[in-house]
Structure 1
Amino acid sequence: MSDLPGETAVQYSNFDFAIRFSHFHLGERGRRIVLDSPSAAGRLLFTRPGWVTCLTGARTRSINLAVGVYAGQPLDVVDQFEDVVESSYESLHGELSVLNWAEALVGSLGKLPAGPGFYRVRYHLRDTGHANLVTTALLQVWPAEDSPSAELKITSSTGSFWHPDRQRSTLGE
């Protein structure tokens, strides 16, 4: 994913790993923090304090994931992907790691630029429904005020499955 912006990131990491059960996670300090709080299940991206779950296509067997951690809002690369969603995320410890479907550590992203507090997570997906079984994804993380989740672009069959309201609204346009 060398064509994606990483030069303005505080940290930019690439991970290739296996996917099972169509998801992976971001977690604080490399482990799950269990809290009783609402989550937006049934979407491509949902968050809880200290925890993020990212869904992939049902056929995805491996993922090429790039993660950029930024001090401010990153460059917009929405047009390079099929599906793009974003949500607020509350970091409890100011450290973040990528975890696989079984919650095993894939890699550490280290300390977040603003420490504990609210961040925005933008999740980009490409090739989610194709037969090649590999998904390309980009996660952008930056400090931001808590705000509602947003569907920036939904065009694939996977995105339409997890965001059916968005699909219905674009069919009539």
Structure 2
Amino acid sequence: MTTTTTVSFDLGVHYGQAYLVDATDDAMGPEDLLDDHPAHPVGIIRVEDGNAFLITGLHTGTVGFSVMVADHDPGADTDAYEDIVEISFESEAGQVTLDEWGGSEVHEIPELPAGPGWYRLRYHAQNMDAAAEADTSQEIIDRYLLQIWPQEESEPRVVQSASGQLAYWCSPR
């Protein structure tokens, strides 16, 4: 039997940032923008040491956010989202939270189905360009879906790219 659990919430963002944090990490997410993968940049999500740094189009305000935890690859939602990227993530605890900037709010995520080990993160984004243009909004302009499932470590990849924001974040700085 396969299992999938989804949680949805309004996510407060500052500086266009949110963090997926492993329960073994004492910090509330990385302090600085993590480096993108040098050979396979995916731009809007970066992973290092049990943390994932997630970038949003909106600089400050509220975005729509869903996290789906599954025991198998749930498949990308290519119809509902403009941009979709994937990257591997290692969880030491088998439990993660989604933290807002500065730890102002921590969102509980369902327990990871395979416990500690390697997972795949698939980050979907919609309306990043419109949100970046607005810069600040308490009304939801951009929305995101983060899928998490057990999978051995593999190269990051861009599944679908349509926004200028994804192109910007994938380009070398």
**Same fold, TM-score > 0.5, yes or no:** yes
C-alpha distance in 2, partners of 1:23/1:85?
A: 16
Gaps spanning 5+ residues in structure 1: where? Answer: 1-7, 166-173
1:149 counterpart = 2:164:
no
Q: Compute the RMSD of aligned alpha carbons.
A: 2.4
Counterpart Cα distance in 2 of 1:109 and 1:27: 10
Q: In the alignment, is residue 40 of structure 1 matched against residue 16 of structure 2?
A: no
| Number of equivalenced pairs | 155
Which TM-score applies when normalising by structure 1?
0.80
5+ residue gaps, structure 2, are none
1:103 and 2:97 aligned:
no
Cα deviation, residue 60, structure 1:
5.5
Match of 1:129 in 2: 129
User: Structure 1 pair 126/47, CA: closer, same or farther in 2 (3 Å)?
Assistant: same
Structure 1 residues 10-19 or 58-67, which shifts more? Answer: 58-67
Counterpart for residue 57 of structure 1: 57
Tell me the secondary structure at the aligned position of residue 148 of structure 1: coil
Relative distance call for 1:56 and 1:74 in structure 2 (3 A) is: same
Higher relative contact order (CA 8 A, sep 6+): 2
The one-letter amino acid paired with 1:151 is V
Tell me the percent identity: 27
CA distance in 2, matches of 1:74, 1:17: 23
How big is each residue's C-alpha offset from its partner over 1:30-88, in whole Å with a ceiling of 9 and x where there is no partner?
Answer: 85378xxx842782001113111110115452111010000000033123211111100
Q: Deviations over 1:85-137 (max 9, x none)?
A: 11000001100111012134431113210000000000000011115642110
Structure 1 Cα separation of the partners of residues 9 and 90 of structure 2: 23
Of 80-89 and 131-140, the range deviating more from structure 2: 131-140
Q: Distance in 2 between matches of 1:105 and 1:18?
A: 8
Shift of 1:17: 2.1
1:9 Cα offset (Å): 4.8
Q: What is the alpha-carbon distance in structure 1 between the residues aligned to residue 47 and residue 55 of structure 2?
A: 12
**Equivalent position to 1:13, from 7, 13, 16:** 7
TM-score by length of 2: 0.80
**Partner residue, 2:22:** 28
